[in-house]
Amino acid sequence: MQILKLTSSKPHNYSRLTSFIILSFSICILYFLVCLMLVHTKFVNTYFSSQDVFSQPSTTSLEHIVFGIASNKNTWEKRKDYIKLWWKPERMRGCVFLDEELPPERQQYSKNDNNTSLPPICISGDTSRFRYTYRGGYRSAIRLARVVVETMALNHSGVRWYVFGDDDTVFFPENLVETLSKYDHGLWYYVGTNSEIYEQNIMFGFDMAFGGAGFAISHSLAKVLAKVFDSCIERYPHLYGSDSRIFSCIAELGVGLTREPGFHQMDIRGDVFGLLATHPVTPLVSLHHLDQTDPIFPNMSTPQALQHLFKATEVDSQRLLQQTICYDIWYSWTIVVSWGYAVQIYGRHMFLPDVLHPPETFRRWKIKGNSPLSGLYSFTTRELHPDTCRRPTIFFLDDVSSSGRSGEDIKSTYRQAYVNCSIDAGSPRKLREVRVFSHKLNLDINQLKAPRRHCCDVLPSKSGEAVDVAIRECKQEELINMHP
């Protein structure tokens, strides 16, 4: 029995030893493979970190944008005040392109400006070799078109987007960044908008980004466009403007326009209140043609009115002009908040779609001419009520302030512009002030891609001459509708 026991134990011990050896060998192989994978990963990361596109932060910022501003020596002296409003010299890069050097008496003054609050001045290159045959047009369109190429030739590093505009284009920089952040700068993008006037779009193209509104070209597209641009514009001497040539050359590369409604060409005149107060649910990116419109706030000059608007921009740029509608159940009022700009209160309940359409406070672009198309807009409008007392009571921005640990809690106040009708107990005209409470708007990329209008509540108020409104995110299934 003892011999049998000893004999039977040998295979058992041998089997255990074999299993131990196989397991050890497997562990060694696994360890070797893991080490190999780590070395390979380190190599890949080291390689790509040396590449410019991968070394940049994932979030687009102002430092990734280069601006090309088209101007000339005759308009620069006046229009540079517009650029002072939005240019941030410590964070922005780019150039203002003039047709020729400024006179000596203005040159020193402009140099002083450049050191403080304006972009540097560049002189456009010679364009005499290019033909221009549009009858009655301006040959300067060739020079302005080539601002695109000359801006890229500045050879700034780490560029993701090139943004172009006129010297009377007012940009809202933080909103521009948020808008462009939705797109991959490594792909070919041409971002902008059309004209508000149907006839202008018929003449120049619904697929063209109008230059005055400003437009953006991704870095990857810009590199290719710069190589072919001069050969391309040789084929288009018959076109009128610079933006037509840029559009044509981008179209030849097979790229179409990506429309962003936050850019505004502003091909309208007079009182632009109706357009601004019904801004789409998207960040305000630009305004143009402000020389051709009334000041956006009453009892102010155009520069003063824009400075007043930028006070709200500095507090909550993303929420600027964002329209919020709520219904007061006590007086059956419809309250429309266009944040940072104005509040309108209708003395009755109105269907939401009727409130969203811009009232025609403005006039068409062409003053002369009988074309039936010149008075048509490229968006839905509504006529003002013929009885001024049936129009909403308007309250314009008076002040805005922030509080809280990070300035997240915001209070904006709006004062009534004027009273021109009789006042009864239930009339919003008895009010002198509207106070709006909100939290700073910080939308992520997904919210920017799929925006949703915010809701608001009318709060109890002790004063009969003021009303308080609180803006908040709408609940999952909440409707913005008038109460029965």
Q: What is the pTM of this model?
A: 0.85
Residue 1 confidence (pLDDT) above 50:
no
Identify the H or E element spanning 445.
helix 445-449
pLDDT, position 4: 34
Tens digit of each residue's pLDDT (9 = 90 or more) over 205-252? 999 999 999 999 999 999 999 999 999 999 999 999 999 999 999 999
- Report the chain's mean pLDDT, rounded to a whole number: 87
Q: How far is CA 215 from the centre of its chain?
A: 10
Tokens (6 digits) for 84: 């002072």
Lowest-confidence range among 85-94, 421-430, 432-441? 421-430
Buried b (16+ CB within 10 A) or exposed e, 347-363: bebbeeeebbebbbbbe
pLDDT, position 405: 80
State percent of the chain over pLDDT 90.
Answer: 74
pLDDT, position 20: 54
Nearest to 415 by CA among 389, 394, 433: 433
- What's the pLDDT band for 24 if we cut at 50, 70, 90? low
What is the rounded CA–CA span in Å between residue 35 and residue 418? Answer: 76
- What's the pLDDT band for 49 if we cut at 50, 70, 90? very low
pLDDT, position 8: 41
Residue 47 confidence (pLDDT) above 60:
no
State percent of the chain over pLDDT 70.
Answer: 84
Lowest-confidence range among 15-24, 128-137, 206-215, 416-425? 15-24
Tens digit of each residue's pLDDT (9 = 90 or more) over 280-300? 999 999 999 999 999 999 999
- What's the pLDDT band for 53 if we cut at 50, 70, 90? very low
Residue 43 confidence (pLDDT) above 70:
no
Do 166 and 69 contact (CB within 8 A), yes or no? yes
Residue 473 confidence (pLDDT) above 80:
yes
Q: Where are the alpha helices (DSSP H) in 147-260?
A: 147-152, 173-180, 198-204, 219-233, 242-252
pLDDT, position 126: 95
pLDDT, position 330: 87
SS3 217: strand
Strand pairing class (333-338; 215-218): unpaired
**How long a stretch of residues is the chain?**
484
What is the rounded CA–CA span in Å between residue 72 and residue 114? Answer: 16
Do 317 and 172 contact (CB within 8 A), yes or no? yes
Residue 483 confidence (pLDDT) above 80:
no
Nearest to 264 by CA among 201, 213, 309, 217: 213
Q: CA distances (Å), 337 to each of 276, 298, 323, in order?
A: 11, 18, 6
Residue 46 confidence (pLDDT) above 70:
no
pLDDT, position 374: 75
Residue 103 confidence (pLDDT) above 90:
no
Lowest-confidence range among 19-28, 315-324, 335-344, 433-442? 19-28
Beta strands in 281-381 (DSSP E): 286-287, 323-328, 333-338, 342-346, 362-363
- What's the pLDDT band for 406 if we cut at 50, 70, 90? confident
Q: How deeply is 386 buried, as exposed, middle or buried, from its count of CB atoms within 10 A (0-12, 13-18, 19+)?
A: exposed
- What's the pLDDT band for 11 if we cut at 50, 70, 90? very low
pLDDT, position 55: 43
Residue 116 is given by DSSP the state T
pLDDT, position 299: 94
Radius of gyration of the chain (CA): 30
- Domains belonging to the chain, first-starting first, are 55-265 (3.90.550.50), 302-472 (2.70.130.10)
Do 468 and 437 contact (CB within 8 A), yes or no? yes
Residue 80 confidence (pLDDT) above 70:
yes
Nearest to 342 by CA among 329, 328, 361: 361
Residue 28 confidence (pLDDT) above 60:
no
- What's the pLDDT band for 51 if we cut at 50, 70, 90? very low
What is the rounded CA–CA span in Å between residue 17 and residue 19? Answer: 5
Q: How far is CA 162 from the centre of its chain?
A: 14
What is the rounded CA–CA span in Å between residue 258 and residue 363? Answer: 27
pLDDT, position 322: 98
